[in-house]
Amino acid sequence: MKYKMSVHAKIDEPLELRKEIMECAVISTDAINSESNLKELSKQKKKLMTQLKNNLTDLKKSVKQFERLLPAIPQEEKMRAKREELRILMQQEMAEEMGGQIKPVGQIKKELDRIKGRDPKILRKKVANLSEREDLRRNLDDIRGRLAKLKNLFPDK
């Protein structure tokens, strides 16, 4: 006959051990509950995603059906609309590149004439006079520079 031996151990603080076991049990049940909640949420997410996809396909079908029911636009109108849109887009792009408004050349010339307020021939004569004045000023500055050098060479006595 074999005897079963039982082993007994004395625990110094059994209340602390029980408390820790209970806390561990609470934490593990919370983990199990959160896992089941996550599984349920993932199932709901999948259902909602499939519903969303189905609704999007239905919406696309409805839009296509609605477009078919609309009256056809004549080809000329389509071309005019496209040309107008392209022209507007090109003007906007050019304005962005140049940093200002795009105006017709005739309008710009009129504005320039209004600003100048003079005949172009008279302006050319004034430009010629200005260049002559600049030449005279340069010559005068050159002469003044020479005089200053001479004064430095021969100081006053």
Residues 11, 17 contacting (CB under 8 angstroms) = yes
Range of the domain at 31: 19-70
Structural domain contains residue 38: yes
Number of domains, the chain: 2
Indicate the pTM of the whole model. 0.34
Task: Average the pLDDT over each of 49-63, 64-78, 107-121, 127-141 and give the range with the smallest value.
Answer: 107-121
Domain boundary among 52, 70, 88: 70
DSSP secondary structure string for all residues of 42-100: HHHHHHHHHHHHHHHHHHHHHHHHHHHHSPPPPHHHHHHHHHHHHHHHHHHHHHHHHTS
Per-residue pLDDT of 30-88, as tens digits, reads 999 999 999 999 999 999 999 999 999 999 999 999 988 888 777 777 677 778 888 88
Structural domain contains residue 40: yes
Residues 116, 123 contacting (CB under 8 angstroms) = yes
Per-residue pLDDT of 7-26, as tens digits, reads 666 667 778 888 888 888 89
